[in-house]
Amino acid sequence: MGLMPASERRAQIAAVFDQVADVYDNVGVPWFTPIAERLVGALHPQPGERAVDLGCGRGAALFALADAVGPQGRVTGIDLSAGMVGATAADAAARGLGQVRVVQRDAGEPGLPAGEFDLAVASFVVFFLPAPLAALRAWHRLLAPGGRLGLSTFGDHGAGWLDDVFGRFLPASAFRAPSPFDSDTGVEQLVGAAGFRRVRTETFPLDVVLRDVDHWQQWSMSHGQRAVWARIPAERHPEVKAAVAEHLETFRTADGTYRVGQSIRLTLADRDD
């Protein structure tokens, strides 16, 4: 993965998110929306402020920002995936949110005017970017003096068991190199290196509640993890599912559902005044 040219990687990511745009965050597993709402809340958006949502997807953060800044504010969502942009722009129009616009852009090079935003938000996006430090520098330039940045990423890897299961079915070349997103400090250092100040971390636990292994698979196929399935030959998918089913038993609760915990990391920072 690390050796893939950036343009090819971007095209693959856009294709995966085009495929999932219709079902994304919509299979009965509250996940992206509660995370993004918590992230937006941590930034304390004010009525009339201008926000940019980088990698907005289906608008988990975008709509929370639009509510908070109100009709006097402005929210720009950008995403690489045409499917995400089209569906989210249609949702914004259906909700009558004149303060929202959604455009297809690369978050790594947003091409938006410098100093135009009070808030920059990227919820579960930055680890997809081929050059995250360069992207964070670009986001720093988008902010007005005193502007605030908020990122969400996976915290301590409660789902390490799932990496292990997928890992049994993936080629050795698929293994991820160590990255800044493996620790709070790693992300903080990256954000600091991009010029941000007062960099800090908040974490919170979020349980994924699943009915059964079919529900898990449906959820897994509805977001970025679909790219992992695509790398495993289809004839081996039932084996993956069986291995996951075995693991899920350790998360079974008294009501028969499975409750899988994950720590979520918010990284917050400011641009100097």
Positions touching ligand SAM (CB under 6 A) are 10, 13-14, 17, 25, 32, 36, 55-58, 60-61, 78-81, 84, 106-108, 123-125, 128-129, 223-224
Q: Which residue is nearest to ligand SAM (CB)?
A: 57
Least Cβ distance, residue 232 to ligand SAM (angstroms): 20
Q: How many CA atoms lie within 13 A of 71 on its CB side?
A: 4
Cβ 246 to ligand SAM shortest distance, Å: 27
Q: Which is nearer to ligand SAM, 25 or 188 (CB)?
A: 25
**Shortest approach of ligand SAM to residue 108 CB, angstroms?**
5
Instruction: In whole angstroms, give the CA distance from residue 85 to residue 18.
Output: 9
Q: How far apart are CA 66 and CA 243, in angstroms?
A: 42
Nearest CB to ligand SAM, comparing residues 62 and 243: 62
Here the contacts of 157-163 (C-beta below 8 Å, separation 24 or greater) are 157/182, 158/260, 158/261, 158/262, 158/263, 159/260, 159/262, 161/247, 162/244, 162/247
- Dihedral sign for Cα 174, 211, 152, 117, please: positive
Nearest CA among 206, 187, 188 for reference residue 198: 188
Task: Closer to ligand SAM by CB, 73 or 150: give it.
Answer: 150
The nearest distance, CB 5 to ligand SAM, in angstroms, is 14
Least Å distance, CB 251 to ligand SAM, is 22
Short-list 113, 118, 90, CA closest to 102: 90
User: Which of 24/258 has CB closer to ligand SAM?
Assistant: 24
Q: Is 50 or 223 the residue whose CB approaches ligand SAM more closely? A: 223
